[in-house]
Chains A and B, each alone.
Chain A
Amino acid sequence: ETGVTQSPTHLIKTRGQQVTLRCSSQSGHNTVSWYQQALGQGPQFIFQYYREEENGRGNFPPRFSGLQFPNYSSELNVNALELDDSALYLCASSLRGREVIDGYTFGSGTRLTVV
């Protein structure tokens, strides 16, 4: 059984650029969520996908968008990067559907730095 895999692990981008982060869910997990964690803060919910449909979204602007694919892997896209987007981006998968009843398995995260 594989865990949650994220790529890349580190990324440096320039303000105004676009970035795509990728996530492969744990085997058998059909729900994937993305969180942003700034230094010294708790993870902030961006959005959640269940069976390829977005079923929850946090207070993030539309330039944050995502996809979930039939194999339950996922992408997070951020357009027009701003300095405040610098953070650890966490992908988390769970097993049982729309409500995360059993808790998450997190990937190791992507550290994004915007300069």
Chain B
Amino acid sequence: QKEVEQNSGPLSVPEGAIASLNCTYSDRGSQSFFWYRQYSGKSPELIMSIYSNGDKEDGRFTAQLNKASQYVSLLIRDSQPSDSATYLCAVNIYERRGSYIPTFGRGTSLIVHP
């Protein structure tokens, strides 16, 4: 079983709609969760981090965390064509040497069409 799972997509939404991206993880001990955006040919950039159950809002982005169900999601409101990118979920997973290492899913491709 993969440690961090995402649907690879593509997820296609019209401009102005809400895009919903989901991620599940296997390590119940994980405490830190991140969403990164990666444009084609570029490196990932951090959008949001979340550590507690519930919602965290930052502008048009809302991260949601449910540790009991082991999922984290990202909502993008009023989606714009410039939001078209791959969204990577990362979860700090326990590594055998005692560190928690950010482990990435394969990413979900989002396409926002005008």
Interface, chain A (partner B; CB < 8 A): 33, 35, 40-45, 48, 50, 55-58, 88, 90, 98-109
Q: List A contacts of B45 (CB < 8 A).
A: 106
State which size class the interface on B falls in.
20 to 34
Q: Which residues of A contact B69 (CB under 8 A)?
A: none
Which B residues touch A107, using CB under 8 A?
43
Q: Which B residues form the contact surface with A (CB < 8 A)?
A: 4, 6, 8, 32, 34, 36, 42-46, 49, 88, 90, 92, 95, 97-107
How long is the Cα–Cα vector from A35 to B46 in the complex, in angstroms? 15
| Contact across chains for A90 and B99 when beta carbons are under 8 A apart | no
- Does B49 contact A102, Cβ atoms closer than 8 Å? yes
26 CB contacts below 8 A, A to B, read A41-B106, A41-B107, A42-B104, A42-B105, A45-B102, A45-B103, A45-B104, A48-B99, A48-B101, A55-B99, A56-B101, A57-B97, A90-B43, A98-B99, A98-B100, A99-B92, A100-B92, A100-B100, A101-B32, A103-B36, A103-B46, A103-B49, A104-B46, A104-B102, A105-B46, A108-B42
Q: How far is the CA of A105 from the CA of B102 in the complex (A)?
A: 12
A88→B86 CA distance, assembly (Å): 15
Q: Hey, which chain A residues are within 8 Å of B36, CB to CB?
A: 103-104
Q: For residue A103, which residue of chain B has the nearest CB? A: B46
For the complex, what is the distance from the CA of A114 to the CA of B104, rounded to whole Å? Answer: 24
Establish whether residues A99 and B32, one from each chain, have CB atoms under 8 Å apart when the complex forms: yes
